[in-house]
């Protein structure tokens, strides 16, 4: 269990990162709309520790602050991905559990989860997941064997490793068809619709929707 002060700093780092992504990292928004109790004092502590700075009414994370926040954001968004796309938990349970795990997962466990999920680039809400060392190796060594479903050759098989929906409703449409990470698929047709087999079911998708499904070719289909 981490000391409350450390958890407060981690929480505020995470909030500043997320607010900066949306361009909302104004000082008043950071201190006035935070879930962190006494966010102003926590921000002062972060500035003193060299994790953040206030410049022209905006709160910016320093290099050290960004490194800390990236780890928290990465653990949270990977946990969300695992809970929603693999375990099929509802959003409320996934979010609350991810908030707990972001403070306790070790780097080794985080990398193992990331590798198991196929190094997803975005969380279920479409936000980018910060890369880890395992992802660098994945891009360098494995990336050629992971491709979009539509880029398989007709007749080629693979296993779905992640889905990157352009919109949340797309993820729901794909999941409703029983197409989830871990499913084995074989491409049957590319045009005019993308037709593929998933188990004993033949599924047809719009090409743009099929481009959101990433598969791992057979050479690595048995590993994680």
Single out the residue in 23, 44, 61 at which a domain terminates: 61
Q: Are 163 and 213 in contact (CB under 8 A)?
A: yes
In a domain, 136, yes or no: no
Model confidence at 121, in pLDDT bands (50, 70, 90)? confident
In a domain, 116, yes or no: no
Closest of 26, 31, 18 to residue 56, by C-alpha: 26
Model confidence at 137, in pLDDT bands (50, 70, 90)? low
In a domain, 126, yes or no: no
CATH code of 201's domain: 2.30.30.90
3-class DSSP state of 155: coil
Closest of 114, 18, 115 to residue 69, by C-alpha: 18
In this prediction, residue 221 carries a pLDDT of 41
In a domain, 56, yes or no: yes
Closest of 118, 110, 79, 81 to residue 221, by C-alpha: 118
Given a cut of 60, is residue 142 above it in pLDDT? Answer: no
Closest of 4, 2, 29, 3 to residue 16, by C-alpha: 29
Over the chain, what is the mean pLDDT? 87
In this prediction, residue 200 carries a pLDDT of 87
Given a cut of 90, is residue 133 above it in pLDDT? Answer: no
In a domain, 124, yes or no: no
Q: What is the mean pLDDT of residues 48-58?
A: 95
Single out the residue in 61, 83, 98 at which a domain terminates: 61
In a domain, 132, yes or no: no
In a domain, 200, yes or no: yes
Model confidence at 21, in pLDDT bands (50, 70, 90)? very high
Given a cut of 80, is residue 144 above it in pLDDT? Answer: no
CATH code of 17's domain: 1.10.10
In this prediction, residue 5 carries a pLDDT of 86
In this prediction, residue 171 carries a pLDDT of 80
In angstroms, the CA 189 to CA 187 distance is: 6
Model confidence at 222, in pLDDT bands (50, 70, 90)? very low
Closest of 8, 5, 16, 7 to residue 54, by C-alpha: 16
Domain total of the chain: 2
In angstroms, the CA 67 to CA 64 distance is: 5
Domain membership of residue 184 as a residue range: 145-220
In this prediction, residue 138 carries a pLDDT of 64
Single out the residue in 17, 38, 61 at which a domain terminates: 61
* 24-172-175-84 Cα dihedral, nearest 10 degrees: 40
159 sits in the region (left: phi over 0; alpha: psi -120 to 50; else beta) called beta
In this prediction, residue 68 carries a pLDDT of 95
In this prediction, residue 196 carries a pLDDT of 95
In a domain, 213, yes or no: yes
Q: What is the mean pLDDT of residues 60-86?
A: 92
Q: Is pLDDT larger for residue 214 or for residue 2? A: 214
Q: Is pLDDT larger for residue 88 or for residue 160? A: 160
The values of phi and psi at residue 8, to 5°, are -65, -40
> Where is average pLDDT lowest: 31-45, 78-92, 100-114?
78-92
């Amino acid at each position: 269990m981490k000391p409350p002060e450390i958890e407060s700093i981690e929480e505020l780092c995470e909030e500043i990162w997320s607010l900066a992504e949306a361009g909302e990292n104004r000082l008043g928004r950071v201190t006035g709309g935070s879930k962190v109790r006494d966010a102003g004092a926590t921000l002062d502590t972060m500035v003193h520790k060299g994790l953040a700075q206030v410049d022209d009414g905006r709160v910016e994370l320093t290099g050290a602050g960004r490194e800390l926040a990236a780890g928290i954001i990465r653990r949270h968004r990977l946990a969300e991905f695992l809970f929603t796309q693999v375990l099929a938990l509802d959003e409320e349970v996934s979010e609350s559990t991810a908030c707990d795990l972001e403070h306790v997962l070790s780097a080794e466990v985080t990398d193992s989860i990331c590798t198991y999920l196929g190094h997803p680039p975005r969380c279920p809400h479409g936000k980018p997941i910060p890369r880890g060392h395992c992802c660098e190796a994945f891009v360098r060594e494995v990336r050629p064997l992971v491709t979009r479903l539509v880029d398989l050759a007709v007749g080629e098989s693979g296993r779905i490793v992640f889905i990157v929906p352009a919109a949340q409703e797309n993820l729901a449409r794909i999941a409703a068809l029983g197409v989830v990470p871990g499913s084995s698929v074989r491409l049957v047709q590319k045009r005019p619709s993308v037709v593929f087999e998933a188990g004993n079911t033949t599924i047809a998708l719009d090409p743009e929707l099929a481009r959101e499904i990433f598969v791992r070719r057979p050479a690595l289909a048995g590993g994680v």
